[in-house]
């Protein structure tokens, strides 16, 4: 996980009715972007940027921290808490405690935190009754036991506690980016689809009205529209955004070496499903460091009872992305089952995921 510098500014975290909060947030974002172009306004009062590159460029963590402190002082004149940690969740905690965690210390720090930081009261209460007082103790529980007692959300929080996920759901304000864009005056209906002479036709208006009715019936996120963006795998290349949200129509011209070739799966799972791939002897198929499979896959198991025979496979196509930061290593494999179904599987960190179905 990336080492992030987090800025926590208490006085900006609650929005004032006069709109000054957004203006100051925008001013701060502009100032910080000069230090690091990847600065992210996560939500009101919380900013982050990846520390590695700025730290090298300016000559060390302490220099960057001092520069950030100075520019916040100059631009906003408010008190700021700074912290460094790996992943957004740990980085925010580090900022609230004002600590700089060296690379590799984040796990120890996160595990020592009280259970309350995971932000669910029933989890905390139950945890305390069971004698689990820290994030680490909760992380060590068997996921299956947690799943029995709690819902999916608790399992996701446990993955955050373990460091498998970098941030809690709800830690990020999805609408802040758009609101800041509106403030800058840049948000002028990107998603507008213009007709032949630039105006919208009757068909477009009728479709808008229908989409609006479905939204009233099912909620704001119910209707989505799709677009293509750059990437190598089907799930990265296809974007689904709520209808009416500003989308930047960008013509994809950049080459993506290593992009998976057509045909693409008709179902591209937004949340991949973990599966087991085994060879003829029943041993798990693994990917070695040279990007080769340990043995040809023979069965695909969705659970202990649901397993299918693999009649053909192709790949693996290894992908090593952003080796300078995330260092994400994956490999994709296509399999065809005896029953005729075809799947796209992905292997990451010795686990197999179902990412696409050619249905």
Partner 1 sequence: MARVTSARYSYERMFAFSSSRPPVPEKLAASLRPTSLAKARTLPLDEPWRALVPGGGLRRGSSVVVQAPAGLGGLSVGLSLLSEASTRGHWSAVVGVDDPGVVAMAELGVDLRRVLFVPRPRGAWAEATADLLDGVDLVVVRPPGRASGSVARRLSDRVRERGTVLIALSEPSAPWPIAPDLLFSVTQAEWTVSSRLDARYLTVHVSGRGEAARGERHVVVLPNRRGRAEAS
Nearer to partner 1, 197 or 323 (CB): 197
Question: Considering only residues 49, 243, 352, 353, which one is a binding residue for partner 1 as defined by CB under 8 A?
Answer: 243
Nearest approach in angstroms of CB 271 to partner 1 is: 8
Nearer to partner 1, 112 or 218 (CB): 218
* 3 state SS of 278: strand
Nearest approach in angstroms of CB 172 to partner 1 is: 21
Nearest approach in angstroms of CB 337 to partner 1 is: 8
Considering the rule CB under 8 A, would residue 263 count as an interface residue with partner 1?
yes
Find where tokens 């590159």 sit: 53
Contact stretch for partner 1 (CB under 8 A) within 9-17, 109-117, 150-158, 221-229:
221-229
Nearer to partner 1, 71 or 267 (CB): 267
Is the alpha carbon torsion for 183, 33, 44, 79 positive or negative?
A: negative
Is it true that the peptide bond before 316 is cis, omega within 30 degrees of 0? yes
Considering the rule CB under 8 A, would residue 79 count as an interface residue with partner 1?
no
Distance CA 66, CA 61 (A): 9
Considering the rule CB under 8 A, would residue 125 count as an interface residue with partner 1?
no
Considering the rule CB under 8 A, would residue 339 count as an interface residue with partner 1?
yes
What's the half-sphere exposure (Cβ side, CA atoms, 13 Å) at 44? 15
Nearest approach in angstroms of CB 232 to partner 1 is: 11
What tokens does 326 get? Answer: 């995330």
Considering the rule CB under 8 A, would residue 244 count as an interface residue with partner 1?
no
Considering the rule CB under 8 A, would residue 316 count as an interface residue with partner 1?
no
Contact stretch for partner 1 (CB under 8 A) within 19-27, 81-89, 99-107, 335-343:
335-343
Alpha helices in 130-187 (DSSP H): 135-139, 143-149, 152-162, 176-184
Contacts of 89 (CB under 8 A, 6+ apart): 110, 160, 165, 166, 167, 168, 171
Considering the rule CB under 8 A, would residue 21 count as an interface residue with partner 1?
no
Considering the rule CB under 8 A, would residue 226 count as an interface residue with partner 1?
yes
Contact stretch for partner 1 (CB under 8 A) within 32-40, 131-139, 233-241, 296-304:
233-241
Q: What are phi and psi of 205, to 5 degrees?
A: -70, -40
Closest among 290, 276, 286 to 354, alpha carbons compared = 276
What tokens does 231 get? Answer: 């990437």
Considering the rule CB under 8 A, would residue 206 count as an interface residue with partner 1?
yes
Q: Name the strand (E) or helix (H) holding 315.
A: strand 307-321
């Amino acid at each position: 996980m990336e080492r992030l510098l987090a800025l926590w500014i208490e006085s900006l975290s609650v929005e004032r009715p006069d709109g000054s909060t957004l203006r100051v947030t925008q001013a701060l974002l502009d100032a910080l972007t000069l230090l690091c172009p990847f600065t992210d306004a996560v939500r009101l009062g919380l900013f982050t940027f990846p520390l590695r590159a700025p730290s090298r460029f300016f000559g060390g963590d302490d220099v960057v921290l001092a520069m950030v402190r100075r520019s916040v002082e100059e631009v906003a004149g408010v008190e700021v808490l700074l912290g460094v940690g790996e992943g957004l969740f740990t980085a925010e905690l580090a900022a609230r405690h004002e600590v700089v965690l060296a690379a590799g210390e984040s796990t120890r720090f996160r595990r020592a935190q009280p259970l309350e930081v995971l932000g669910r009261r029933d989890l905390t209460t139950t945890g305390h009754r069971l004698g689990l007082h820290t994030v680490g103790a909760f992380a060590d529980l068997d996921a299956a036991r947690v799943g029995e007692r709690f819902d999916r959300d608790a399992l996701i929080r446990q993955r955050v506690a373990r460091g498998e996920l970098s941030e809690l759901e709800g830690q990020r304000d999805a609408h802040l980016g758009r609101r800041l864009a509106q403030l800058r005056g840049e948000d002028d209906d990107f998603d507008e689809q213009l007709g032949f002479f630039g105006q919208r036709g009757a068909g477009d208006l009728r479709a808008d009205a229908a989409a609006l009715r479905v939204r009233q019936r099912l909620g704001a996120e119910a209707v989505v529209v799709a677009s293509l963006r750059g990437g190598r795998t089907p799930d990265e290349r296809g974007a689904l955004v709520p209808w009416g949200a500003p989308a930047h129509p960008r013509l994809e011209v950049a080459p993506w070496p290593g992009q998976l070739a057509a045909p693409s799966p008709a179902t591209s799972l937004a949340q991949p499903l973990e599966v087991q791939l085994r060879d003829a002897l029943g041993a798990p198929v693994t990917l070695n460091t040279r990007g080769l499979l340990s043995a040809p896959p023979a069965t695909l198991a969705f659970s202990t009872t649901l397993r299918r025979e693999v009649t053909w496979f192709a790949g693996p196509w290894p992908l090593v992305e952003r080796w300078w930061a995330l260092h994400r290593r994956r490999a994709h494999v296509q399999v065809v089952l005896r029953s005729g179904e075809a799947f796209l599987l992905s292997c990451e960190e010795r686990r197999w995921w179902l990412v696409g179905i050619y249905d």
